[in-house]
Structure 1
Amino acid sequence: MTVRIRPAQLFDAGFAAPLIQSTIGAIGRALTGTATDEDAAHVLAEFFPLRGHRLSFTHTLIAEVGGQPAGLLVAYPGEFAADLDEPFRHHLRAIGQPGVTEPEGQAGELYVDTLAVSPDRRGQGVGGALLHSAALRAQNLGLPRLGLLSEADNPAMRLYARQGFRAAGERTVSGIRFIHLIRELSPEPAASPSVEAGC
């Protein structure tokens, strides 16, 4: 099976927003000021085609299998995390809520905000292909590591371990305790992001 990775486009909003929200849950509801995942996904779908925020199409890679979207990865340099939250803070103030967010990324890393694979494509190499592409993006930006936050009981922890991530502390975001995982990268550019994966 071939997993093809491409930059997200505006038309990906309908695929991306619900998948992002199903992955980030309480964080998505906090960012959008909504009470349900359905409402949060609707707001994220409106934000996705816009530039200058953390969940923009400009920070998103789409994985395709057989020409159909199968997963996505959202990543950006951690040093810009606070600035990339400003559009969400503005949105929260506009709907009468406190304009407070909790930036997640840290300087010196390409922060993997969201890694999500469609349920029918899990276990088929899609997540690994997306992380491989994130490593390539980090190296092209001159960043020495990937970083992400994961709950300890997240089944994806096995994937992160296989990909070379290690624990580097803990963080609490939106009342949820996360492990901060990092993967140090070599300075050499990674191979092509198109990946052949076994079915």
Structure 2
Amino acid sequence: MIRKAQKQDSEKAAVLIYDAIQDIAHVLTGERHKKKVFEQLERYFCQEVNRLSFQNCLVKTIDDIPVGIIVAYQGKAAIKLDEPIRAYLRDLTGKEPTIDPEADAADYYIDTVSVNPEFRGRGFGTELLLDAIHYAEAQGHPTVSLNVEENNPKARKLYESLGFSYKKTVMINQHKYSYLVKQL
């Protein structure tokens, strides 16, 4: 079953998000040690306003245990959604943090898709993507976008099979990503 995420999903969600974004999670949390990264990801997830908030997530569950997650939001909301992250990092480091822009303002942006490795290959990631696309369409968004790391051809093939096409190359945390867009 796919359902809206809930705060009590935070522990599983943090692991799934980390699995998808890894080094970006270290940047967003300001932490080096994985345990600390997970703890801060859980805090972000439980916030009402945050790019990684449960409010922006759907989870795929088996026996009500999250085994997959998708994080998505309107691109134009990214600056507001990142403010709690910037504030946390400013407090932690005393410096103004840099968070690389990931989404065009006009797009409904799929930030993260992740499925627990034990459950991959069952179509759960595709289900999550389709639910996010249908939600975007129902809300009247003209486009859905996502980034795929250039060294991940398997994921890119999946996205292209769902109607996404290349728009541009973006840099996120010093890695090249293909920015793919689907017209709705």
- Class of the TM-score when normalised by the shorter of the 2 chains: over 0.9
Q: Secondary structure at the match of 1:95?
A: helix
Shift of 1:66: 4.4
CA contact (8 A) 1:60 1:74 kept: yes
Match of 1:84 among 61, 64, 81: 81
Q: Secondary structure at the match of 1:114?
A: strand
CA contact (8 A) 2:13 2:66 kept: no
CA–CA distance in structure 2, aligned partners of residues 67 and 10 of structure 1: 13
State, as a whole percentage, how many aligned pairs show the same letter.
Answer: 35
The letter of the residue matching 1:127 is G
1:174 equivalent in structure 2: 173
| Structure 1 gaps, min length 5 | 186-199
Shift of 1:116: 0.2
2:129 equivalent in structure 1: 131
CA–CA distance in structure 1, aligned partners of residues 101 and 39 of structure 2: 22
CA contact (8 A) 1:54 1:85 kept: yes
1:46 equivalent in structure 2: 43
Shift of 1:99: 2.6
1:193 equivalent in structure 2: none
CA contact (8 A) 1:79 1:107 kept: yes
- RMSD of aligned C-alpha atoms? 1.3
CA contact (8 A) 1:85 1:103 kept: no
CA–CA distance in structure 2, aligned partners of residues 36 and 176 of structure 1: 21
Q: Which has the higher helix share?
A: 2
1:1-199 matched pairs, under 5 angstroms: 4-96=1-93, 97-154=95-152, 155-185=154-184
- Would the alpha carbon gap of residues 53 and 181 (structure 1) be closer, same or farther in structure 2, given more than 3 Å must change? same
Q: Secondary structure at the match of 2:46?
A: coil
Q: Runs of 4+ in structure 1 displaced over 4 angstroms?
A: none
Q: Secondary structure at the match of 1:105?
A: coil
| Structure 2 gaps, min length 5 | none
- Render the CA deviation track for 1:33-84: whole Å, top value 9, x for unaligned: 1123332121011111111110000000001234432201000000111111
CA contact (8 A) 1:6 1:63 kept: yes
CA–CA distance in structure 2, aligned partners of residues 66 and 124 of structure 1: 16
TM-score by length of structure 1 reads 0.87
97-106 vs 53-62, greater mean Cα deviation: 97-106
100-109 vs 117-126, greater mean Cα deviation: 100-109
Q: Secondary structure at the match of 2:102?
A: coil
CA–CA distance in structure 2, aligned partners of residues 10 and 167 of structure 1: 34
CA–CA distance in structure 2, aligned partners of residues 177 and 37 of structure 1: 23
